[in-house]
A = this chain, B = another copy of it.
Amino acid sequence: MPSPEQVRAVVDDYLASFSKKDRNAFLACFADDAEQVDPVPSPPNVGKEAIGQFWDNVAGMADKMEPLLDRVHVCGNEAAVVFTMNARSGEGGSAIDIVDIITVNDDGRIASLRAYWDPAAIRPLT
C-alpha cells in the first residue's frame, strides 16, 4: 500500500507534466501495465505505448496546458483529483473541468486512471 504522501506526490507529478508539457515526465507517472481511460467511457489505453499515444494526441492540440487544481482527496491507495485544464493555442484556447480517479501501486506509480469530463462542456478560454 503506498503512503498518502506517495499518492499525493504522483498526482502532483502528473499535473506538473502537463504544465511542463513533458512527455517523459508524464509517462514516468504510470506503471508499465497501467490502464488509462480518458475520458470515461472511451476504450482503455493499456501500457506506456498506448498511453504515450494519448499524450501525443493531447499535446498536439495545444501550445500550452495549464492544469488548475481545485482539490485532491487521498483515500487509501486512490485519489480523486478535481481540476480544470486550460489549453492555449496561439491567441485562443479552451477550458474543461475534469475529475480524475487515480489508483496508485506500491511503487507510487499510477496503476489506473479514469478521467471524468464531458466533451460537450469544453468552453472557450476568456
Contact = CB atoms under 8 A, between A and B. Distances in A.
Interface of A: 39-41, 70-71, 73-80, 82, 97-99, 101, 114, 116-118, 121
Q: State the main secondary structure of chain A at its contact with B.
A: strand
A116 B40 contact: no
Contact of A75 (B73, B74, B118): B118
Given A78-B40, A116-B78, A73 B101 contact: no
B121 A73 contact: yes
Given A39-B75, A73-B97, A73-B98, 13 more contacts: A40-B76, A41-B78, A70-B82, A71-B99, A73-B99, A73-B117, A73-B118, A74-B118, A75-B117, A79-B116, A82-B82, A99-B99, A101-B116
Contacts of A76: 40-41
A52 B39 CA distance: 32
Nearest to A84: B71
Contacts of A73: 97-99, 116-118, 121
A18 B71 CA distance: 23
Nearest to A116: B80
Nearest to A79: B116
30 contacts: A39-B75, A40-B75, A40-B76, A40-B78, A41-B75, A70-B82, A71-B82, A71-B97, A71-B99, A73-B97, A73-B98, A73-B99, A73-B116, A73-B117, A73-B118, A73-B121, A74-B118, A75-B116, A75-B117, A75-B118, A78-B116, A79-B116, A80-B101, A80-B116, A82-B82, A82-B99, A99-B99, A101-B101, A101-B114, A101-B116
